[in-house]
């Protein structure tokens, strides 16, 4: 068997696993890896400006391709800067591999320069952390990393490579090597039958689709099941687009913030809930007494430890989401022909329209609702959206209409500000012919805004739409209604309290400074033309939309206590 540099073997493993893009930055303690990467004709490297940005890019790429993404950095603080990205991917069950350089083995425990035990730092937020002690282990560690990423509940791993290990050699022959088998558990047929009994015996059953369904590729089979049984469907925020927004059985989104009125109403009117790939997060359930009252729950998840983790289930099913739905559909077909829609199923679409929030606001300052109306009207179903955390993301979930799974991405469990723009870059690298739009807030955008340099350097034409109101709007709303009207350190305009076009940060000029396209919009009738001009530029583009300063988003503590806010035109028109 040939003897080759062990980092050459690592790159060959990455290539055979389907990796075509890596996001990161070279450094002294990772340069042997980069020396091997430089020889690859199949993997393109994108240099990041910050390691956190690289990790978010890798996650976006992974979500878009279904293949574990890869980010790389050197040792010490370079590795610790990966922690936020690993944490987010761990919470949202996204497979990616973070590779870090490390000081030589002899310096471990001796406070050498940048000799940080990164495997211990990241252990709570990864599925596995590898500290590689022998060069001969390299091909096997990399193979196992891909298997661990994919198997069971997907998630991130970290591989830490001491410099002297990277410099070693290994016996390796790529012609007799390949990806390791990934086990996908099938559900117990008895539990599938019991789940059908519960759904068919219910008066008001409902199907709840979660993010795990998208990760497993279960959405098409899920739609077939809903149509066969004629049961209404609701989704969590992580599964927006997992069921088509225009489908006659689609009731809406459930939650105390990211939700629709029709989705919450349909859920509250149910008696049996079949939840697929849903972890019942607190921003989805709200007060559990309200969420659970009068309902029995069936939870299907690939991770046994998710079953009854938040509250006791009436029935748990362990299995890969796609295999669970396929088994459910087969059992339903075995029992009889496709069911006819009853009055409840027939009323779903009309109820969704009747409870829809109003979007058609004119005048200035622009109401956020109007911005999302224009987004819905301009971008087709093939567009992929990313969004951040804050009111911009809540409004996006409440107002946007998504038809396809995987076309609406957000940071759900960890909610790190700044995730969305680098993630959009990763998505665009993975899907260069697809329109990729990042909807973000003016404050959150600034967390990883340095990655605009990556987008412009490589001319990755993502479109960023900034919902610019000059403040931390989610925290402003919390201070206003929970802390007696407090308004403290949430304004980011110049000077505080004077929101004119000239006094809020101009993101269009920021984009132009990097060589991208930029345009500011203050007139609602110019929103769509600005989108057209941005896309026509062929460049990374930012459309900076000035919206009502103090607009609030509908939210509450329980599904039956969501407070609605009808926009009121109070703020004077912005100076033009």
Instruction: Assign residue 338 the CATH number of its domain.
Output: 3.40.50.1220
Tokens (6 digits) for 230: 């004629």
Domain of 418 in residue numbering reads as 357-546
In a domain, 476, yes or no: yes
pLDDT for res 108: 79
Residue 184, in any domain of the structure: no
Q: Is residue 43 part of a domain?
A: yes
Write out residues in the chain with pLDDT < 70, as ranges.
494-502, 568-576
Spatial neighbors of 133 by CB under 8 A, at least 6 apart, are: 105, 162, 165
Residues 172-227 have pLDDT tens digits of 999 999 999 999 999 999 999 999 999 999 999 999 999 999 999 999 999 999 99
Q: What is the pLDDT of residues 354-404, one digit of tens each?
A: 999 999 999 999 999 999 999 999 999 999 999 989 999 999 999 999 999
Tell me the residue ranges of DSSP E strands in 74-168. Answer: 96-102, 128-131, 157-162
Residue 272 sits in the same domain as residue 338 = yes
Say whether both 168 and 269 belong to one domain.
Answer: no
119 with 218, same domain? Answer: no
β 169-171/69-73 pair status = unpaired
For 336, which DSSP code? -
Strands 169-171 and 3-5: antiparallel
Q: Do the Cβ atoms of 412 and 238 come closer than 8 Å?
A: yes
> Is residue 552 a part of any domain in this protein?
no
Q: Which pLDDT value is given to residue 503?
A: 79
Secondary structure element (H or E) that encloses residue 80, with its range:
helix 77-80
Q: Are residues 159 and 202 in the same domain?
A: no
pLDDT of residue 452: 98
Query: Which pLDDT score, from 0 to 100, does residue 576 have?
Result: 31
Q: Domain end: 146, 176, 206, which one?
A: 176
- The phi, psi pair for 206, rounded to 5°, reads -145, 145
Residues 23 and 35 in one domain: yes
Residue 574 lies in a domain: no
Predicted local confidence at residue 502, as pLDDT: 66
Partners of 520 in beta bridges: 544
> Quick one: tokens of 440?
């973000």
How many Å separate Cα 241 from the centre of its chain?
12
Residue 110, CB-side half-sphere exposure with 13 Å CA sphere: 7
pLDDT (0 to 100) of residue 574: 40
Q: Is 114 exposed, middle or buried (0-12, 13-18, 19+ CB in 10 A)?
A: middle
CA distances from 107 to 110, 162, 163 (A): 5, 10, 11
**Residue finishing a domain among 307, 328, 353:** 353
Same domain, 200 and 348: yes
* Domain co-membership, 401 together with 462: yes
pLDDT of residue 572: 45
Tokens 């105390």 — which residue?
256
What pLDDT does residue 113 have? 81
Same domain, 201 and 158: no
For residue 295, being part of any structural domain is answered with: yes
Q: What is the distance, to the nearest Å, from the Cα of residue 543 to the centroid of all Cα atoms in its chain?
A: 22
* C-alpha to C-alpha distance for 145 and 149, rounded to whole angstroms: 6
Q: Cα(422)–Cα(418) distance, rounded to whole angstroms?
A: 8
**E strands, 511-568, where?**
517-521, 541-546
What is the pLDDT at residue 570?
A: 52
Residue 568 within a domain = no
Q: Is the same domain home to 163 and 274?
A: no
CA–CA separation, 511 vs 43, rounded Å? 28
- For the chain, what is the domain count? 3
**CB distance 547 to 523 below 8 Å:** no
Claim to verify: residue 451 and residue 465 sit in the same structural domain = yes
What's the pLDDT at 495?
64
What is the pLDDT, as a whole number, of residue 291?
98
362 and 337 together in one domain = no
Question: What pLDDT does 575 receive?
Answer: 37
The answer to whether residue 345 is domain-embedded is yes
- Give the Cβ contact number of residue 385 at 10 Å: 25
Query: Among 353, 386, 401, which residue terminates a domain?
Result: 353
Give me the CATH number covering residue 425: 3.40.50.970
Q: Are residues 312 and 416 in the same domain?
A: no
């Amino acid at each position: 068997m040939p003897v080759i540099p062990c980092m050459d073997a690592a790159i060959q493993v990455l290539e055979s696993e389907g990796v075509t893009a890596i996001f990161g930055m070279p450094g002294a303690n990772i340069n042997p890896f980069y020396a091997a990467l430089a020889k690859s004709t199949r993997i393109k490297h994108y240099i990041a400006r910050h390691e956190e940005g690289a990790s978010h890019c890798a996650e976006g790429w992974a979500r878009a391709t279904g293949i574990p993404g890869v980010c790389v950095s050197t040792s010490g603080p370079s590795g610790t800067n990966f922690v936020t990205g690993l944490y987010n991917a761990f919470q949202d069950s996204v497979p990616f591999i973070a590779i870090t350089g490390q000081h030589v083995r002899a310096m471990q425990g001796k406070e050498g320069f940048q000799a940080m035990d990164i495997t211990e730092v990241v252990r709570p937020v990864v599925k596995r952390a590898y500290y590689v002690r022998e060069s001969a282990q390299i091909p096997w560690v990399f193979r196992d990393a891909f298997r661990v990423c994919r198997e069971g509940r997907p998630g991130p791993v970290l591989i830490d490579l001491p410099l002297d290990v990277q410099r070693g050699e290994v016996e390796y022959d790529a012609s007799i090597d390949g990806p390791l088998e990934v086990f996908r558990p099938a559900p117990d047929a008895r539990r599938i039958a019991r789940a059908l009994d519960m759904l068919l015996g219910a008066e008001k059953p409902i199907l709840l689709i979660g993010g795990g369904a998208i990760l497993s590729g279960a959405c098409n089979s899920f739609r077939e099941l809903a149509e066969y049984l004629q049961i209404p469907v609701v989704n969590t925020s992580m599964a927006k687009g997992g069921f088509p927004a225009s489908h006659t059985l689609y009731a809406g989104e459930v939650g105390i913030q990211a939700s629709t009125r029709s989705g919450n109403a349909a859920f509250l009117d149910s008696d049996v809930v079949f939840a697929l790939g849903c972890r019942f997060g607190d921003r989805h359930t709200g007060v559990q007494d309200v969420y659970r009252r009068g309902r029995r729950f069936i939870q299907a998840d690939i991770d046994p430890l998710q079953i009854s983790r938040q509250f006791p289930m009436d029935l748990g099913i362990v299995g890969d989401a796609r295999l669970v739905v396929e088994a459910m559909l087969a059992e339903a077909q075995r029992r009889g022909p496709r069911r006819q829609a009853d009055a409840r199923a027939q009323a779903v679409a009309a109820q969704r329209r009747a409870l829809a929030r109003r979007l058609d606001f004119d005048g200035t300052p622009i109401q956020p609702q109007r911005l999302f109306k224009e987004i819905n009207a301009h971008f087709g179903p093939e567009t992929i959206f990313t969004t951040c955390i804050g009111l911009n993301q809540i409004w996006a979930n409440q107002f946007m209409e998504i038809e396809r799974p995987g076309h609406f991405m957000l940071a759900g469990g960890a909610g790190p500000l700044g995730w969305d723009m680098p993630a959009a870059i990763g998505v665009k690298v993975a899907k260069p012919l697809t329109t990729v739009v990042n909807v973000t807030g003016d404050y959150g955008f600034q967390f990883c805004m340095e990655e605009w340099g990556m987008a412009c350097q490589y001319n990755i034409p993502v479109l960023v739409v900034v919902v610019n109101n000059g403040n931390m709007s989610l925290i402003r709303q919390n201070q206003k209604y929970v802390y007696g009207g407090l308004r403290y350190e949430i304004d980011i305009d110049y000077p505080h309290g004077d929101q004119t076009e000239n006094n809020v940060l101009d993101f269009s000029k920021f984009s132009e400074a990097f060589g991208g396209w930029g345009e500011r919009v203050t007139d609602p009738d110019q929103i769509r033309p600005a989108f057209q001009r941005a896309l026509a530029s062929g460049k990374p583009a930012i459309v900076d939309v000035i919206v009502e300063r103090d607009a609030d988003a509908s939210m509450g503590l329980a599904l039956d206590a969501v407070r609605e806010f009808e926009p009121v035109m109070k703020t004077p028109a912005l100076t033009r």
